[in-house]
Amino acid sequence: MPNRFLLTTALVPLLALSACGDSPADSEGGEVDPATEQALNEQIMVDPDLANQNEANAALTGGTDQSIPPENMTPEAIQAARDAAYALVGGSDGLKELPQPTNYAYPIPETATLTAASKASITADGTNCAENAQYSATWAAKLPAIFPVYPRGTTKEAAGTDAGDCALRAITFLTPVPMEEVLTFYYSRAETAGYTTEYAVADQDTIVSGVKGGASYIVYARRLSSGLTEVDLITNGL
């Protein structure tokens, strides 16, 4: 859908799932991963109407064609992105095989890991973190070190907040690397770091999610008609 406000779209189902219960998340800031620094060098894209509503909190803006520069889509560039991802998991042998996905229809059951991760991603100590989210490219550099933007990914939108006990980050990015490889990367990072992990399909999204204490992560991924992989990466807590 042209000009889709991606992060809002990603957060809406989380808000619905977080209507009951809470999960604490603390800590703020985070070590800047080289892959995240790379993401900040790429194009940032946001909904122009929203950016005009509040320039103080508006993200940097770029084009709106949901594309990646051609030089970043060559076979060599894709392999370089893969190699950088391998390095972050200790080599290709560090990648963990995705299990068979769980298929969900909305509403997601309360017993699902995705439900727990959704609640933890939006709330902290009873606070609705999403209500305080602000849009800025700098949030892509404040992701938890374990969950960076996929290497050489092109960041489209970035939002977050450290208000109160919140440490919410919501980043949307594009990559030419196939969706399954991207999800395998995040699944492997989460497993290695001791997060619970769930691989699921819900509606048009393929999802990896989990929690670790008060921290949480959700990775929504989908294939675009252009062949690119589009990802909404949402974390809270570190």
Q: Identify the pLDDT of residue 10.
A: 52
Mean pLDDT value of segment 75-98: 94
Average pLDDT over residues 194-210: 91
Question: Residue 11: what pLDDT?
Answer: 55
Residue with tokens 């219960």: 21
- 34-43, 55-64, 79-88, 112-121: range with lowest mean pLDDT: 55-64
13, part of any domain = yes
State how far the alpha carbon of 63 is from the alpha carbons of 104, 108, 172, in Å: 34, 35, 15
- The residues, any chain, with a CB within 8 Å of residue 128's CB and separated by 6 or more, are 15, 18, 122
Residue 95 in domain: yes
103, pLDDT greater than 60: yes
pLDDT for 27 equals 33
Share of the chain above pLDDT 90, in %: 46
Average pLDDT over residues 201-228: 91
**What's the rounded mean pLDDT across residues 69-73?**
79
Reduced to 3 states, what is the DSSP secondary structure of residue 166? coil
- What is the mean pLDDT of the segment spanning 133-158? 92
Average pLDDT over residues 36-58: 35
**For 200-216, what is the mean pLDDT?**
90
Inter-axis angle of helices 179-192 and 75-88, to 10 degrees?
A: 10
- Helices marked H in the chain — which ranges? 6-17, 34-40, 48-53, 75-88, 113-122, 179-192
How many CA atoms lie less than 13 Å away from 126 in the CB half-sphere?
0
Q: What is the pLDDT of residue 111?
A: 76
pLDDT for 32 beyond 50: no
Tokens matching residue 18 = 């977080």
For residues 185 and 208, the answer to whether their CB atoms sit within 8 Å is no
Above 80 in pLDDT, residue 53? no
Task: Report the domain count for the chain.
Answer: 1
Cα 103 to Cα 131: distance, rounded to the nearest angstrom: 29
CA proximity to 232, closest of 211, 205, 214: 205
Band (pLDDT 50/70/90 cuts) for residue 183 is: very high
The C-alpha atoms of residue 104 and residue 177 are separated, in whole angstroms, by 25
Cβ burial of 77 (10 Å; 0-12, 13-18, 19+) is middle
d(CA 96, CA 81): 18
Amino acid residing at 88 = L
Of 14 and 168, the one with more pLDDT: 168
User: Is pLDDT larger for residue 8 or for residue 132?
Assistant: 132
Which pTM value belongs to this model? 0.75
Q: State the pLDDT at residue 129.
A: 85
Asked whether the predicted pLDDT for residue 4 surpasses 50, the reply is no
Distance CA 206, CA 183 (A): 8
Which residue, among 213, 220, 193, 180, has the nearest Cα to 94 in the 3D structure? 193
Residue 48 reports pLDDT greater than 50: no
Higher pLDDT, 30 or 92: 92
Does a structural domain hold residue 1?
A: no
Inside any domain, residue 132: yes
Domain-located, residue 217: yes
Domain that holds residue 99: 6-236
Q: Provide the mean pLDDT of the chain.
A: 76
Q: Quick check: is 157 in a domain?
A: yes
- Whether residue 20 is predicted with pLDDT greater than 90 in this model: the reply is no
Say how far apart CA 128 and CA 163 lie, in whole Å: 10
- Look at residue 154 and give its three-state secondary structure: strand
